[in-house]
């Protein structure tokens, strides 16, 4: 399909309401998921909870290969499959979740702006712009994008580096976890193949020459920038969370709650108290607010080795 | 999906144009002494083989042993011919010529004969370029062959195949048992890539297969162990979610056994004889994560009728039983439909499907009844026209998933409901001894929701047809 046709089709699909059985796919929670994948998955889960879009988390051993872009997590909504936070944010920007046709209002999130439109039948359709960043002006939106890029280029890359390029972590934690669903000898083949691929990517972006200390230093600087931007505010922009908050929460929370070969990484974050309280706040507001049976707050934590 | 054998040439030695139907006797050299008469008893005193290079002699002893048993000249000629065929079958000689002469030398008997086989060995390294026709696809095959590398008819082959749907390469080592060419071992290493647009699936297999072939009485058996690393992926972004869920890597380690009884006179357009082939495969007990028991069989009966026409009936069937909780993978299930099975339907487009992608089924059966006749008015008779046949066919079959909790009666019932069938007529062209092309006019019937049909004219090319 040409790009224009694809955009048209996704627009049409986006005009459907958010279904009940929307699902988010990630690798197996207990044995397989790695730090970087867990962080990305948690970021998307946080974002969807902030938008009040219910999604069921499904764990599959082959989630990475099911994803259209090769990266986890991805969501399966209706018959659309969208992966990674950026495209998911775009996808949820125009979703119809409520319709008034005389029977009354069906529920929808209260935290989002609403645009009223009249459709052909004459009943009113609430077009929910699930853009959490609607309240931002252009300067702020650009700033938000810049910080998101910072997190992706620094934090995510550092996570990948520590997982795959640091031999101790790779041998003790990453390779065994990544290859756990597969039988011998496929497990070794796939783990080494993935490691080779990530290391190649690291050389391409110039991180191959960095030492572990330099990477920790980079993480520290990134946290410092985030901490300064956050200051004493509740969220990064205004009093409403945006996708930047979801992304930062995903990464920081995962680093804090995952046990690696050394605690240096989580110590770097713990030294910034406003980031810690930011994580606790989001966890409290969005991951514990509904007392649903079986929803164990610990279930969002990646299992420790 | 099945892996095909990588050998482009059938294992019967180079085809010198001699067919069982038109065998001719080898001519003996004119006798210089003019004494040996046809019905006189003779003794074969010596059998020489000239022209050996790297071939070890103990290999050939078995093939030529029978010549010593001959009692009269006609017998000698016949047995020499048979020995020549056996030597050619080894696949290590380019040419074999037989010379029968009276015995010379001190211990020569008055009725003694010397038989000499003059052979030319194949070169150590040969390259080949073939085009291959598989089931509705074509490919270009480049091969490098090292025949007879250690002197006892071992063969090492490397093949690279680039086709319309598949790209693959493979390394194959073949070793027959001394004296029993039909008992042999074959080890293959391969990488095969396939694209299956009917399921929106892409599959890459990397594997090792070891097989051991041996005949028992009239049947041919094959025992095989195969280890395959399978990688499945979606062919397009619009693949259905059911196919997307099957993406990823898996390892299949399976043992299989196949038995074949083939009394047909030819594999393509046989005139008489029958074929019975049964194959079972057990995966999961020697490692890997695919775990199932798979059975399939093929029966074909041919009979000549009046006026040079042939009636042919065939039946295929198969079943896969997953062992454990995981359902059978899409790469192991059966597919049905297309110009090589139930004509009138699109390729593998029968049975369970999801959003237009065919997922295959766990059990199937398919039957065909064909009447082959020569072309009307027999144009080109005795030459090119003999390669063509008209054929009238009736095909039927079904493909479905079984609920293994129920009994066999429920299974039979499920296979018997929603039968798809078709009938029609067309022309068949025979390509050598390997493949055939068909052009048919088909009328599909019993079409269910979800099946894709190809009614009207349908073209098919392949090796194995229902």
Mind spelling out the 3-state secondary structure of A180-194? CCCCCCHHHHHHHHH
User: How many C-beta neighbours within 10 Å does residue B227 have?
Assistant: 18
User: How many C-beta neighbours within 10 Å does residue B283 have?
Assistant: 27
List of chain A residues whose C-beta atoms are within 8 Å of the C-beta of residue B241: 76, 79, 81
Give the pLDDT confidence score for residue A262 in this predicted structure: 84
What would the mean pLDDT of A216-238 be, rounded to a whole number? 89
- Measure B164 CA to nearest chain A CA, in Å: 22
Question: Quick check: bond before A185 cis, omega within 30?
Answer: yes
Spatial separation of the C-alpha atoms in residues B89 and B6, rounded to whole Å: 18
List of chain A residues whose C-beta atoms are within 8 Å of the C-beta of residue B244: 66, 81
Tell me: pLDDT of B58 over 50: yes
Residue in A62, A68, A186 closest to B229 by CB: A186
- Measure A186 CA to nearest chain B CA, in Å: 7
Percent of chain A whose pLDDT exceeds 90:
51
Pairing of the two strands B43-50 and B112-121: parallel
Spatial separation of the C-alpha atoms in residues B128 and B143, rounded to whole Å: 5
Strand residue runs (E) in B347-466: 353-354, 357-358, 363-373, 388-400, 420-431, 435-445, 456-462
In chain A, where the domains are located: 96-128, 138-288
List of chain B residues whose C-beta atoms are within 8 Å of the C-beta of residue A68: 234, 237
When scoring B206, B239, B250, B356 by the number of chain A Cβ atoms within 10 A, the one with the most, hence best to mutate, is B250
What would the mean pLDDT of B52-78 be, rounded to a whole number? 84
Q: How far is CA B51 from the centre of its chain?
A: 33
List of chain B residues whose C-beta atoms are within 8 Å of the C-beta of residue A66: 244-245, 247-248
Q: Using only the alpha carbons of chain A, give its radius of gyration.
A: 20
Return the residue of A nearest to B240 by Cα.
Answer: A79
Task: Kindly give the interhelix angle for A35-50 and A273-287, rounded to the nearest 10 degrees.
Answer: 60
Give the pLDDT confidence score for residue B287 in this predicted structure: 86
Q: What pTM was estimated for this model as a whole?
A: 0.81
Spatial separation of the C-alpha atoms in residues A270 and A264, rounded to whole Å: 10
Spatial separation of the C-alpha atoms in residues A255 and B274, rounded to whole Å: 69
Tell me: pLDDT of B316 over 90: yes
Task: Kindly give the interhelix angle for A273-287 and A212-230, rounded to the nearest 10 degrees.
Answer: 70
When scoring A10, A58, A61, A62 by the number of chain B Cβ atoms within 10 A, the one with the most, hence best to mutate, is A62
- Sorting pLDDT into bands at 50, 70 and 90, what band is B21? very low
Phi-psi region for residue A91, left (φ > 0), alpha (ψ -120 to 50) or beta?
Answer: alpha
Return the residue of A nearest to B288 by Cα.
Answer: A183
Give the pLDDT confidence score for residue B115 in this predicted structure: 87
What would the mean pLDDT of A276-286 be, rounded to a whole number? 90
**Edge-to-edge strand order for the sheet containing A74-77?**
A56-59, A23-26, A74-77, A80-83
User: How many C-beta neighbours within 10 Å does residue A69 have?
Assistant: 12
* ipTM for the whole predicted complex goes beyond 0.90: no
Tokens 């990134």 locate to A222
Q: How far is CA B192 from the centre of its chain?
A: 18
Q: What is the pLDDT of residues B112-122, one digit of tens each?
A: 888 888 999 88
Tell me: pLDDT of B241 over 60: yes
**Edge-to-edge strand order for the sheet containing A95-100?**
A95-100, A124-128, A114-118
Choose from A96-105, A148-157, B272-281 the range with maximum mean pLDDT. B272-281
What are the structure tokens assigned to B451, written together?
Answer: 């099946």
Pairing of the two strands B353-354 and B273-288: unpaired
List of chain A residues whose C-beta atoms are within 8 Å of the C-beta of residue B283: none
Spatial separation of the C-alpha atoms in residues B365 and B400, rounded to whole Å: 9
Give the pLDDT confidence score for residue A125 in this predicted structure: 44
Q: H or E segment at B452?
A: none
Q: B19-28 b/e with 16+ CB inside 10 Å = b? A: eeeeeeeeeb
Return the residue of B nearest to A76 by Cα.
Answer: B241
3-state secondary structure of A128: strand
What would the mean pLDDT of A84-96 be, rounded to a whole number? 82
CB contact under 8 A, A1 and B238: yes
Q: H or E segment at B302?
A: strand B292-304
Spatial separation of the C-alpha atoms in residues B370 and B378, rounded to whole Å: 19
Q: DSSP string covering A61-115, please? A: TTHHHHSTTS-S-EEEETTEEEESHHHHHHHHTSEEEEEESSS-PPP--SSS-EE
- Sorting pLDDT into bands at 50, 70 and 90, what band is A177? very high
Question: Quick check: bond before A81 cis, omega within 30?
Answer: no
What are the backbone angles phi and psi of residue B82, rounded to the nearest 5°? -65, -40
Task: Kindly give the interhelix angle for A85-92 and A243-257, rounded to the nearest 10 degrees.
Answer: 140
Spatial separation of the C-alpha atoms in residues B83 and B451, rounded to whole Å: 54
CB contact under 8 A, A65 and B288: no
Residue in B248, B251, B287 closest to A62 by CB: B248
Tell me: pLDDT of A102 over 80: no
Give the pLDDT confidence score for residue B56 in this predicted structure: 85
What are the backbone angles phi and psi of residue A99, rounded to the nearest 5°? -140, 130
Give the pLDDT confidence score for residue B61 in this predicted structure: 83
CB contact under 8 A, A79 and B289: no
List of chain B residues whose C-beta atoms are within 8 Å of the C-beta of residue A184: 287
- Measure A264 CA to nearest chain B CA, in Å: 35
CB contact under 8 A, A189 and B229: yes
* Residues A228, A229, A230: CA angle, nearest 5 degrees: 90
Q: H or E segment at B56?
A: none
Return the residue of B nearest to A60 by Cα.
Answer: B245
What DSSP designation does B376 have? Answer: T
- Is CATH 1.20.1050 the right assignment for the domain spanning A138-288? yes
Spatial separation of the C-alpha atoms in residues B160 and B155, rounded to whole Å: 17
Give the pLDDT confidence score for residue A73 in this predicted structure: 93
- Per-chain mean pLDDT for chain A: 81
User: How many C-beta neighbours within 10 Å does residue B307 have?
Assistant: 7
3-state secondary structure of B219: strand
When scoring A65, A69, A76, A192 by the number of chain B Cβ atoms within 10 A, the one with the most, hence best to mutate, is A65
The separation between the first and the last C-alpha atoms of chain B, rounded to the nearest angstrom, is 17
Tokens 């290999």 locate to B59
Spatial separation of the C-alpha atoms in residues B202 and B199, rounded to whole Å: 9
Residue in B238, B247, B251 closest to A65 by CB: B247
* Residues B100, B104, B106: CA angle, nearest 5 degrees: 150
List of chain A residues whose C-beta atoms are within 8 Å of the C-beta of residue B250: 186
List of chain B residues whose C-beta atoms are within 8 Å of the C-beta of residue A192: none
Tokens 């390997």 locate to B434
CB contact under 8 A, A189 and B241: no
List of chain B residues whose C-beta atoms are within 8 Å of the C-beta of residue A60: 245
Pair A254, A246: CB distance under 8 Å: no
């Amino acid at each position: 399909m040409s790009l224009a046709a694809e955009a048209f089709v996704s627009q049409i699909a986006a005009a459907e309401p958010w279904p009940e059985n929307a699902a988010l796919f990630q690798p197996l929670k207990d044995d397989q998921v790695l730090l970087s994948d867990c962080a990305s998955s948690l970021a998307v889960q946080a974002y969807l909870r902030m938008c009040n879009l219910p999604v069921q988390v499904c764990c599959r051993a082959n989630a990475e290969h099911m994803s259209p872009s090769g990266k986890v997590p991805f969501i399966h909504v209706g018959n659309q499959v969208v992966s990674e936070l950026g495209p998911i944010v775009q996808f949820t920007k125009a979703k119809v979740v409520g319709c008034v046709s005389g029977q009354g209002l069906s529920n929808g999130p209260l935290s989002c702006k609403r645009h009223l439109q009249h459709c052909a039948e004459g009943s009113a359709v609430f077009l929910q712009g699930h853009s959490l960043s609607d309240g931002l002006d252009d300067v702020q939106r650009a700033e938000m994008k810049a910080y998101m890029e910072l997190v992706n280029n620094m934090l995510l890359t550092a996570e990948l580096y520590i997982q795959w390029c640091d031999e101790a972590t790779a041998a003790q934690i990453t390779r065994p976890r990544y290859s756990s669903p597969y039988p011998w000898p496929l497990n070794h083949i796939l783990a080494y193949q993935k490691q080779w691929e990530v290391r190649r990517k690291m050389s391409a972006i110039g991180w191959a020459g960095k030492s572990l200390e330099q990477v920790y230093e980079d993480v520290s600087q990134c946290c410092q920038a985030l901490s300064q931007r956050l200051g004493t505010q509740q969220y990064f922009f205004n009093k409403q969370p945006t996708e930047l908050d979801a992304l930062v929460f995903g990464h920081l929370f995962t680093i804090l709650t995952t046990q690696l070969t050394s605690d240096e990484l989580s110590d770097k974050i713990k030294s910034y108290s406003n980031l810690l309280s930011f994580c606790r706040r989001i966890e409290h507001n969005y991951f514990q607010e509904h007392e649903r049976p079986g929803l164990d707050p610990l279930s969002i934590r990646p299992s420790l080795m | 999906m099945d892996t095909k054998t990588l050998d482009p040439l059938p294992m019967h030695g180079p085809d010198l144009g001699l067919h069982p139907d038109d065998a001719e006797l080898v001519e003996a050299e004119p006798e210089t002494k003019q004494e040996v008469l046809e019905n006189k008893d003779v003794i074969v005193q010596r059998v020489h083989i000239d022209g050996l290079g790297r071939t070890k002699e103990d290999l050939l002893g078995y093939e030529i042993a029978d010549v010593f048993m001959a009692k009269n000249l006609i017998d000698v000629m016949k047995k020499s011919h048979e020995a020549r065929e056996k030597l050619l079958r080894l696949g290590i000689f380019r040419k074999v010529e037989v010379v029968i002469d009276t015995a010379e030398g001190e211990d020569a008997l008055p009725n003694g004969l010397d038989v000499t086989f003059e052979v030319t060995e194949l070169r150590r390294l040969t390259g080949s370029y073939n085009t291959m026709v598989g089931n509705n696809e074509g490919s270009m095959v480049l091969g490098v062959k090292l025949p007879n590398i250690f002197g006892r008819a071992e063969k090492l082959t490397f093949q690279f195949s680039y086709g319309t749907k598949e790209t693959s390469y493979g390394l194959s080592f073949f070793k027959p048992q001394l004296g029993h060419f039909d008992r042999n071992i074959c080890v293959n290493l391969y990488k095969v890539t396939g694209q299956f647009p009917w399921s929106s699936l892409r599959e890459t297999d990397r594997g090792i297969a070891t097989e051991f072939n041996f005949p028992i009485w009239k049947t041919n058996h094959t025992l095989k162990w195969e280890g395959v690393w399978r990688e499945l992926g979606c062919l397009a972004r619009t693949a259905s979610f059911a196919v997307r869920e099957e993406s990823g890597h898996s390892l299949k380690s399976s043992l299989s056994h196949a038995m074949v009884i083939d009394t047909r006179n030819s594999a393509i357009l046989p005139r008489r004889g029958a074929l019975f082939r049964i194959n079972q495969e057990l995966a999961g007990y020697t490692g890997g994560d695919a775990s199932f028991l798979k059975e399939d069989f093929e029966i074909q009966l041919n009979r000549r009728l009046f006026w040079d026409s042939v009636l042919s009936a065939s039946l295929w069937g198969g079943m896969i039983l997953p062992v454990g909780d995981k359902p059978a993978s899409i790469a192991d299930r059966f597919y049905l439909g297309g110009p090589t099975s139930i004509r009138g339907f699109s390729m593998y487009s029968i049975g369970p499907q999801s959003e237009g992608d065919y997922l295959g089924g766990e059990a199937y059966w398919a039957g065909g009844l064909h009447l082959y006749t020569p072309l009307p008015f027999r144009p080109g008779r005795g030459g090119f026209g003999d390669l063509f046949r008209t054929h009238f066919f009736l095909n039927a079959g079904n493909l479905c998933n079984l609920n293994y909790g129920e009994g066999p009666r429920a299974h039979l019932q499920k296979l018997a409901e929603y039968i798809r069938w078709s009938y029609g007529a067309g022309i068949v062209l025979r390509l050598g001894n390997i493949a055939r092309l068909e052009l048919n006019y088909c009328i599909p019937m019993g079409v269910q929701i979800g099946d894709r049909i190809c009614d009207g004219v349908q073209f098919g090319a392949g090796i194995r047809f229902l």
